[in-house]
Amino acid sequence: MAESVDSEDQTESPGIGMKITIAGLKKKFPTVKNLTTQALSALVNKCKPSEGVEKSENLLIVDARPDEEYKVGHIENAKRVNFDADGGEIMNDIQDSLNFDMKTTVVCYCSVGYRSSMVVEKIVKQLKDKGQYDEEKINVYNLEGSIFKWANESRPMVDINNKETKCTHPYNAVFGKMLNKELRKTSLD
């Protein structure tokens, strides 16, 4: 059964469409661990570099959406990968950002969690195949509710020009309904 990691910080709960989608994804991907938006927010703050303080934990955020979606709005410092790529290609894309000398958390997201759950499975399989998967050192998660939930909670995002934005790409007309209307944007124009 997939697990969710939470924190004490509570924000407005997602709508019924998002709740149903999250539940469906947990059934579709039972081995994928999920991290809540609250827990990722806490990790982002904890892993921010600060002068004079040595990092004890590494955070890698992976965006599993196409470039046109990533450009409109993404979580700051997220590394974009092609979710359709095979596991080896995805690992090549993120290898330089992995640090096996310290605790590393990898959090993957897309619009609602389907594509990012596929990427989590591919990363975990690659790490296991290479003998690098040690849950004491590395954890790989899907962001529960992904960028839509993150945006709906007014969490920070940037566009391709690294400018703050509240908007993100709605993916399509159906899934986009899980993203608050004022946050939907299909291009930078």
The closest alpha carbon to 79, from 106, 44, 100, 114, belongs to: 106
The CB density around residue 54, as the number of other CB atoms within 10 Å, is 7
Reading the block at residue 181, the tokens are: 């209307």
Find all residues with CB under 8 Å of 162, minimum gap 6, and list them.
76
Q: What is the β-pairing status of strands 157-158 and 164-165? A: antiparallel
Given pLDDT bands bounded at 50, 70 and 90, which one contains residue 53?
Answer: low
3-state SS, residue 141: strand
**CA 15 from centre of chain:** 19
Under the phi-then-psi rule, with left for phi > 0, alpha for psi from -120 to 50, and beta for the rest, what region is 27? alpha
Mean pLDDT taken over the chain: 90
pLDDT in tens, 10-50: 344 458 899 999 999 999 999 999 999 999 999 999 888 76
Find all residues with CB under 8 Å of 58, minimum gap 6, and list them.
47, 97, 98, 99, 102, 103, 104, 105
Q: What is the β-pairing status of strands 33-35 and 4-5? A: parallel
**CA 37 from centre of chain:** 9
pLDDT in tens, 57-81: 899 999 999 999 999 999 999 999 9
Instruction: Return the CATH number of the domain spanning residue range 4-46+56-183.
Output: 3.40.250.10
Given pLDDT bands bounded at 50, 70 and 90, which one contains residue 9?
Answer: very low
Find all residues with CB under 8 Å of 153, minimum gap 6, and list them.
11, 12, 37
